[in-house]
Amino acid sequence: MKKRPTQRVYSEAYTSDHSVEFEEEVYSQLPPSPPGEENIESVVVWIMIWSDSTNLAHFGTASLWPIYIFLGNLPKRFRMKRSEHHAHHLAYIPSLPDTIRDAYYNEFQVHPTQEVIKFLKREIMHAVWMLLLDEDLLDAYIYGLLLCCTDEILRRLYPRFFSHSADYLERILMVCMKFLAKCPCPRCTITKSKIPNLGTKNDFYIRNNRRRHDSKAHQKRIEEARKRIFEQGYSVASLAVGDLLDDQSLTPVRNAFSARLLDHGFDYYDMNPPDKLHDWGGKNEDILSAELRILHSLKNNSVEIYNQRWVPTFGRSVIRRFKNNVSEMKKFAARDFDNVNVCSIPVLEGLFPRGTEKIVLDLAFTSCSWQTLASLRMHTDATLEFFKDVTVELVELPHEARKRNHSSNKKSSNSTLQGDADTPTRVRKFNNETIKTHALGDFIWAIKYFGTADGWDTRIGENLHQDVKQWYDRTNGQENAAQISRHEKRIRILDNIRKRDGIKSSKAVALGFDTEEPLPFSNPEDKFHMASGKQCFLDLDDVVEWSERDVALKDFIWKLKIHVLQTLFGDDGNLDICEGDLDALSFENNRLYRHKVVRINHTTYDLRQDQDSINPCTHADIIALTPAGNNSHPFIYGRVVGMVHANVFVHKTARLPPIKHKRVEFLWIRWFEYDCTHASGWKAKRLPRVHFLYSHDPRAFDFIDPSDVLRAVHIIPAFDLGGTSDYLAPDSIARQYEGPTLTGPRAVETDDWSYYYVNIFSDSDMTMLFLGGGIGHRHLINYLELFYLDAGLDKQELPQYDSDGEELINDEVRPSNQLPHNSESESEQGDDQISEEEETDLEDLEFGSKSGWSSSEIDTEEEFELGPEDGEASDDGDDNF
């Protein structure tokens, strides 16, 4: 096997390009240490900001606009754990008071226009930040702050603003932009009409060379606009102000970060990562809505069939139970859209016309790939390059999808009754001219610049809203922000006391899940964890009797003894066993001891320890390595029928040494067979397919050591191919798995589906296994080479590094995903100033075809209500802010 190249790893904030930039900036400007401070370490503190307005109550208008900060120096895994109290409530931004209109009228003798109110809302946010960015902070920013840390070591800390995570409305307030105007992106000056070009050379060029930058010229432009408003008396929405700002969709607001930190080299445009929760969540909803509209247009029962295709849950809150009618999308959270997406391929199969189905399934596979890659907790150069290819593929599909022939409602020519005519439906077109579409192209840059998305996603800020909503319930409804602030301070003080004194008290009588007393945790170095009780047993004499009526138990004891002897004496399961060896083995009390669950420990792609719980009734499917000599597919799949342990004895023979007492654990498995006739993988854009072996096949049932199980696997029925009862008798003892029923409660399945799909997108670790393996899968690399080649990772052109880990960059050829800074004159240009000749050349160099429709087609009827980012807005202003 060819050795894989050295690659850079992206994960935490402190492994990102942004952190490297800050460290180089700070360390290159450090003054000589004063006497007595020569040994004091200088440390850059990465301040990560989250801000978002939230409603505090289900009824009423109470709201709060908090600013949260985390320290990027701490591990990201604590950011979603509110109990760790790593979040700092920096400030609560006040809203405009109800008396603002009266105060304005008393001052100017005219009522404020809507544009004036918007202007004041923008101003108040930066007025708060001006107070926060005070002289003390500037002094620490420039000269550092001496502080004794919790390890009692004195350090000089240099605070730097690393990122600001917020939804689109909050981001445009931070960068002082208009809402969905001519240039809707907070990071570059792309226009709306060019957003559907995502994935083309033109799009990459605009992102890299038309970036927004703060500069003295930019400040001068804003000050000139404010001068025309406050000194010359022009309206905020006047042409005199618009002539200065509209080419980049700016607002006449003085940015606090620009005013305070530009002189010290800080560019506030560089601290705005995309918003995976809302950007991808919105596109996910777009795709699902488009698929459902096509199903509705078919005028058959496709939607009902779609709802009836029940997908089993998987893992611990990984894929949860779906709503009864997924097609209605009622009360869907972002995680619901994510779960529907990763399970959609088997559900959509067979519901669309032949010409449409391939496009829909290709789109479903690519969107699952994109979602999983964007969610990875650890990236490398290879996965980022693959992520870029998937992004290009994702936007090629809508270009083909516009060729779909939507079914129209036709009046029957043979009928003369008025009631036979269907009510005409409104034409809905897939809209790609949205900021959420454009944001998908920023994720590769953001992962390199800020770290992986789980460290800066807005989901972290949304999670913190649960605290302030709980504290609001403890207030009297008056001056909520002040009371919530006091509650936050009390809770932080109490938490510090508990951590200092090691206090663990509770009023609850029952022990919580974090208590070790009921069931001690297993050693993570152990491959599995199975209970040791003997309450539930299986008598082997009964098994012999049942085997006469149940083909699943045929040769049960013979196979069991072979497996036990192979486990005890075999070298990798290759022991040559004879009849005398089988007779030497006996079981304590002639019994097997059954258990309810077995927990499989495994190392994930990002070097974390994880555990899968296997239960024969609910989550019974497992994945293991294929036996040596089988190169068609590296994995074997099985459904656990039972999990047992036995205490065995071995009498001395000429071939075997004696064993007085030995505990042996094993799983009884009903095996799937991999379908080699079905094209699957990254090139085919289809999931691997398996089916059960017929019960009379000697390979259908066997035993496996739990330590040979890699982990649990998500198996989804191939609904379109129908069911069968030919594989196994309905009343067989091997039928333990429980499926859904029409009445609601689960019941043991009495038949099987003809085929099943292996969901390689069930979680990130599973996807990385089928992508050739992550860092935590190094022990499996030889087995995963087939997937590595199928994904084309062996043909990638990756960055090269010297012996010190520094990237070797050819100045003449800069990677397309590297974003060089431009001069101030370039940053002041809008992307409309690209010459026609330059535009034509770029369009000839596209990666793939343009996606979506032309702007003239989209403008015909834009009827999407998928969130505020997709609202209608004119080029001259914004409607919401």
Query: What residues have CB less than 8 Å from 838, skipping those under 6 apart?
Result: none
Around Cβ 345, how many Cβ atoms within 10 Å? 24
| Same domain as 450, residue 357 | yes
3-state SS record for 640-680: EEEEEEEEEEECCCCCCCCEEEEEEEEEEEEEEEECCCCCC
Q: How far apart are CA 287 and CA 430, in angstroms?
A: 8
Q: Which residue has the higher pLDDT, 826 or 52?
A: 52
Position 815 in a domain = no
| Encoded tokens for 567 | 């486990």
Q: Which residue has the higher pLDDT, 679 or 820?
A: 679
Examine the fold and report which residue of 454, 488, 519 is the final residue of a domain before the chain moves on: 454
Examine the fold and report which residue of 764, 790, 816 is the final residue of a domain before the chain moves on: 790
pLDDT per position as a tens digit, 676-719: 999 999 999 999 999 999 999 999 999 999 999 999 999 999 99
pLDDT per position as a tens digit, 79-98: 999 988 999 999 999 998 88
Q: What is the C-alpha end-to-end distance of the chain, expressed in Å?
A: 58
Position 334 in a domain = yes
Phi–psi pair at 812, nearest 5 degrees: -80, -25
Among 798, 816, 796, residue whose Cα is nearest residue 807: 798
Position 266 in a domain = no
| Same domain as 90, residue 33 | yes
pLDDT per position as a tens digit, 297-314: 987 889 999 998 989 889
Domain that holds residue 762: 528-790
| Same domain as 573, residue 475 | no
| Same domain as 598, residue 472 | no
| Structural domain count, the chain | 3
| Same domain as 347, residue 320 | yes
Position 229 in a domain = no
| Same domain as 330, residue 377 | yes
Position 856 in a domain = no
pLDDT per position as a tens digit, 244-263: 999 999 999 999 999 999 99
| Same domain as 491, residue 350 | no
| Same domain as 47, residue 89 | yes
Among 133, 222, 217, residue whose Cα is nearest residue 177: 222
Confidence grade of residue 35 (pLDDT, cut at 50, 70, 90): confident
Among 342, 336, 306, 338, residue whose Cα is nearest residue 323: 336
Mean pLDDT of 868-880: 38
Phi–psi pair at 532, nearest 5 degrees: -115, 5
Examine the fold and report which residue of 445, 467, 502 is the final residue of a domain before the chain moves on: 502
Token pair 């008393």: residue:
106
Position 857 in a domain = no
| Same domain as 321, residue 376 | yes
- The predicted pLDDT at position 315 comes to 86
Q: Which residue has the higher pLDDT, 637 or 821?
A: 637
Position 270 in a domain = no
pLDDT per position as a tens digit, 389-439: 999 998 864 444 344 333 333 333 343 333 334 444 556 677 788 999 999
| Same domain as 691, residue 760 | yes
- The predicted pLDDT at position 318 comes to 85
Strands 621-625 and 635-650: antiparallel
| Same domain as 731, residue 616 | yes
| Same domain as 69, residue 95 | yes
- The predicted pLDDT at position 406 comes to 39
Average pLDDT, the chain: 84
Phi–psi pair at 712, nearest 5 degrees: -75, 160
Position 301 in a domain = yes
